[in-house]
Structure 1
Amino acid sequence: MGFDADKFVSGISEDKKCCVCSGVLDNPVRAACGHLFCSGCILPWVVRHGSCPQGCQPLTPGDLENVLSLREVILGLHVRCEYRTRGCDAVVRLTDLLKHLQDCCYRPVSCRHAQCGATLSQWQLADHEARTCDYRPMGICQEGCGLVLVYKTYTTHNCLTALKQLVIQQEQQVSVLEQELEGRGRAFERRERVLLAQLTDLKRHVQQQAVRFQACHITQLRHHSACRAALTQLEPCDHVLIQWEAHNSLPPGDMFSTEMELKTSNNRSVLVPAGAEVSL
């Protein structure tokens, strides 16, 4: 959002105003089409619409360029204090405005005395709290209640009445705290129920995973047992007689590349692919 043009001492030309909010440019950026915007105005627009607000062309965040020179020019312009309606006539550069507002003696503040709630300028606060506030402290009651006396009621102070009012105030505070505590308790209960439901789901998932893992493990054990049983049923072989017939003539020294037939002593035949190793 741009700056309010009315706070500037001199008039602001249109080339220093945002095409979205019409305020004086705050952190100005320029689109490829040449239009200028506040960075805080154009970025949300581009994300939502994907085009220039003036309807001239498509636009993405990467198409925006910071205009640092223009930013420095705008920050150097003179503005009036925001508290001029309270009496401040200060004129400062825009870049120094925030520091001035923090230190301005016309900055609105609230009286710190309980029950007062008056709002006044910073320069008035000390005198108000010390001399004119109706709720400024006047001392401690010496009649037995020990309460702090304030200017508004110290001449008509009655210990019994004051203590009753104090009890009522404290009961109201206790009621507020109890309601707050009850609300937090309900929130904790809801949170606890959610966590317990999540924990239950997690336990059920873990149990299901354990059952599946156990079933898979049993299947593997059965498969291994079947393999071992099959191996024990194989007939022993004392020696192997290798017989082959080459279907292609090979030059001397070349690797044998055809299949060969192995015959065992009990006349069982096995085809061995090319390149396989055979232990005799």
Structure 2
Amino acid sequence: MGYDIERFVGYVNEGLLCCICRDVLEDPLQAPCEHAFCTSCIHGWLVHHNNCPEDRQALDMSVLRPLYRYMKNDLNRLQLHCKNREHGCEMICSLESIDRHERECEYSHIPCSNTGCPVLVERRNLDGHLAVCEYRSRECPNGCGYTVLSAEDTQHNCVAELRTELELLRSEMICRMEEARHEMESRLDSQRRHMVQKESLLQNEIEELKSQMSRMMSDLRSLMAAERQHRQELEQAELEKCELMELRKGLQKDCRLNSDASKKGTHFRPLTRLDSVKRKPREVTVI
């Protein structure tokens, strides 16, 4: 629906009237045939029709467009009375600013801000109404700290209210403690599982280290046995070296004796150390 034409001051161009409700255009749309309508009016029309209500040409929502700018400017410049004129408001505004004024108009009837109060009161009288409204709330005069409605003053019991609050707090505390307990148990279970897994990994590492230690000890014993054998072989080689040195000395002595004998013309062959070595059976060293 459009703005009531009776609210306007002065002449209103026919082109600024809705073709359906015949009031001044509100939130206007224009058809290709240049007829203009209030948005709510044309939407309602097209639910049951598919043509323009003025010239019956085919029409649907997709072809509707905003009003031409020059028509929109003419529309916004129109002057009209506030809708609260009958309540005493004498303000005359342009159509462009009327909505802003009416939202703040002191003569507008608004609901009481107290919960449960059904009264509609003029904005300018709201403070006076709130001061006496039976649904107004205030702090308990007995000092319990509760906010009560004036209508509940006779029914308000500070002790009962405090007991109720205490029970609510107690229930809330129990719920929080249960939640904290469940959370701690969950965390402990998680840590316990983690520790079991860690213990298993450490046990496996210990077994592996034991296996490595066993292999190292076996290798060490083998090395020590090889070292002993090598030492015995060195000792045997040293003995053979000493025997060979003694043999060499004996041979050198025999050679000198043979030389001296040849000079004196004596022919004899003394038992040399080499013969004694050849005749002497070789000792076998057992490792």
- Length-normalised TM-score, structure 2: 0.44
Larger gyration radius, structure 1 or structure 2: 2
More helix by share: 2
More strand by share: 1
